[in-house]
Chains A and B, each alone.
Chain A
């Protein structure tokens, strides 16, 4: 294992310390209890608070999305491990301006259970909390016999659009409704060329042969639909796009946001090769590419791979997408 770290046990702490120092204009980092990254001006009077979080290793998710027009707080756990309820509760308290707080939770057993516990504790302290669970990963076929579909890159769009709704002054019910609507219309699927290594584990989280790729990978290296021999990029994009398009389904005349997301170890040039083919497929099917986003936003440490996300939008959702946002990792309109 070769990594740019000092001590495997301190990767999360030291990374957050750096994040706090780099973005002091946007956030403050609460260290007791450790850790919550909170919008610098929170609580924002009259605004619904948005809290998300989960295991670390997916940066810039979630701390990189704390700021104007998006999250009010992010709660990072240990590497790939859900945070405990204490910091989630603390973050919830710090962002509550009396209008209530929305928890945006990726669908993993640990995240759901810890956020659920934190929400109960917040309620006991008189804070109104609603929760929306994101589960956009179409790679998980049979939700009935698993823990359900995983929350992956679509989480970014749920946070962006719900964040915009909160910023424009929507009520807690309305913001939660926006988040649920986005989750119901967003679909993703990813693939990996090479695994990542969790620092304290010291060895790759799964094995993949030199000539193999995993189609349908999760953001912690969970297995996907199939393991196949490496193919040209276009063919792999076809394999990702087909299940996404079929699932909602997305059809002729739809308008979509297309997010091509790097897993952490993929060059931007390759992401654009993927984007090229994905956009081509949309065009062939008569689906209008309304907005594009390309970059590494929901990562899996240094995993080499990509995920594709489509969000079906109408005028209102598009307005929320276009609304100003100012965070460490996403910024436009101001």
Chain B
């Protein structure tokens, strides 16, 4: 039977899985960014998550999900740079605040964390749906998570699938935010790198046991 609560140790395993996935798909993320941005998304995220790995060891074994998320937030903010640093940093920070002092998250708690993370990104970046940004992965993920019931594994799987579909759906869009917006119609046909890295993170969550 699937576990029904995500504790601090799970959160840590998830972040390690994200770091591994970013590292192995670094070139792919950077290539997406080269097409419509400035060719540094993979490099920047990898630098950030490698720094996170270095700091996870210093956390108490009993660290709560919120404490792990907060460490990720502050590390990403201070190491990533570009637009992705503050955006993901804010997402993890708001997620950490939503998780609070809880030792573990159930399905409802997980949805709260994902919603807070998405709201943080929207507030910081001021992007709307269909602007061809990571919001196009986050918002479908949050909506799917909220509708997935009270099984945490089902919530994670729903979020991961919706985020990936959302990332793919950025391909035909013209960008209205970020550096890709200067390309106008020339951005059509390319997937947004931030939406893809969001899908990667949520896929890693769904696969973390």
Contact of A113 among B39, B78, B87, B182 (CB under 8 A): B87
Interchain CB contact under 8 A, A198 and B39: yes
Query: Is B40's CB under 8 angstroms from A78's CB?
Result: yes
Q: How far is the CA of A165 from the CA of B82 in the complex (A)?
A: 30
B11 in the interface (beta carbon within 8 A): no
A114 near B85 (CB under 8 angstroms)? yes
With A80-B40, A81-B44, A201-B39 in contact, do A220 and B179 touch (Cβ < 8 Å)? yes
B82 to A110, Cβ gap below 8 A?
yes
The reply to whether A109 and B77 form a contact with Cβ atoms under 8 Å apart is: no
- Complex formed: what's the CA distance from A113 to B120 in Å? 12
Closest to A198 in B: B39
Which B residue sits closest to A79, measured CB to CB?
Answer: B40
Chain B nearest CB, measured from A86 CB (Å): 5
B-chain residues with CB within 8 Å of residue A198 when the two chains form the complex: 39
Identify the closest chain B residue to A202 (Cβ). B39
Q: A86 touching B86 by the CB < 8 A rule?
A: no
Residue of A nearest to B179 (CB): A222
Interface positions, chain B 69-94, Cβ under 8 Å from A, are: 77-87, 89
- Residues of chain A within 8 A of B178, CB atoms compared: 109, 147
Whole-angstrom CA separation of A109 from B78 in the bound complex:
16
With A113-B125, A147-B181, A223-B183 known as contacts, the answer to whether A81 contacts B77 (CB < 8 A) is no
Of the candidates A113, A140, A222, which one forms a contact with B83 in the assembled complex, judged by CB atoms under 8 Å apart? A113
B34 proximity list for chain A (CB < 8 A): 201
Query: Is B151 in contact with chain A by the CB < 8 A criterion?
Result: no
- Which among A84, A85, A205 is the interface contact of B38 at CB below 8 angstroms? A205
Question: How many Å from the CB of A34 to the closest CB on chain B?
Answer: 11
Any chain B CB within 8 A of the CB of A181? Answer: no
Cα distance, A80 to B109, chains bound together (Å): 39
Note all chain B residues with C-beta closer than 8 A to A201: 34, 39-40
Q: Mark B31-75, 1 if CB is under 8 A from A, else 0.
A: 000100011100110000000000000000000000000000000
Are A109 and B182 touching (Cβ within 8 A)? no
Contacts of A295 in B (CB 8 A): none
Query: Does A117 interact with chain B (Cβ within 8 Å)?
Result: yes
When chains A and B are docked, how far (Å) is the Cα of A90 from the Cα of B44? 21
Cα–Cα distance between A80 and B79 once the two chains are bound (Å): 15
Among candidates A78, A116, A117, A147, residue contacting B179 with C-beta atoms closer than 8 Å: A147
Q: Known A78-B40, A113-B125, A201-B39; judge A223-B81 contact (CB<8 A).
A: no
Question: Which chain A residues border B124 with CB–CB below 8 Å?
Answer: 113, 116
The answer to whether residues A145 and B176 also contact, given A81-B40, A113-B87 and a CB cut-off of 8 A, is: yes
Establish whether residues B77 and A117, one from each chain, have CB atoms under 8 Å apart when the complex forms. yes
Which B162-209 residues have C-beta < 8 A from chain A?
174-179, 181-183, 186
Q: Which residues of A contact B87 (CB under 8 A)?
A: 113
Size of chain A's interface in residues, with CB distance under 8 A?
30
Task: Produce 1/0 per residue, B78-117, CB < 8 A to A.
Answer: 1111111111010000000000000000000000000000
For A220, list chain B residues within 8 Å (CB): 38, 179
Q: Pick the contact of B186 from A86, A200, A205, A223 — CB < 8 Å?
A: A223
With A147-B177, A201-B39: A223-B182 Cβ-Cβ less than 8 Å = yes
**Most chain A CB inside 10 Å of its own CB: which residue of B85, B124, B178:** B85
A78–B81 Cα distance when bound, in Å, is 8
- What is the bound-complex CA distance between A146 and B84, given in angstroms? 17
Hey, which chain A residues are within 8 Å of B175, CB to CB? 146
B81–A33 contact, CB under 8 A? no
A8 to chain B, nearest CB (A): 11
Determine if B43 and A200 form an interchain contact, defined as CB atoms under 8 angstroms apart.
Answer: yes
Q: Which residue of B lies closest to A89 (CB)?
A: B78
B179 touches A82 (CB 8 A): no
Q: Which residue of A lies closest to B30 (CB)?
A: A201
Interface members, chain A 126-157 (any B CB < 8 Å): 140, 145-147, 150
With CB as the reference atom, state the residue of chain A lying closest to B131: A145
- Contact in complex: A108, B125 (CB < 8 Å): no
Chain B interface (Cβ < 8 Å from any Cβ of A): 34, 38-40, 43-44, 77-87, 89, 124-125, 174-179, 181-183, 186
Complex A-B: 7 CB contacts under 8 Å: A80-B38, A80-B40, A81-B38, A109-B83, A116-B86, A147-B179, A200-B43
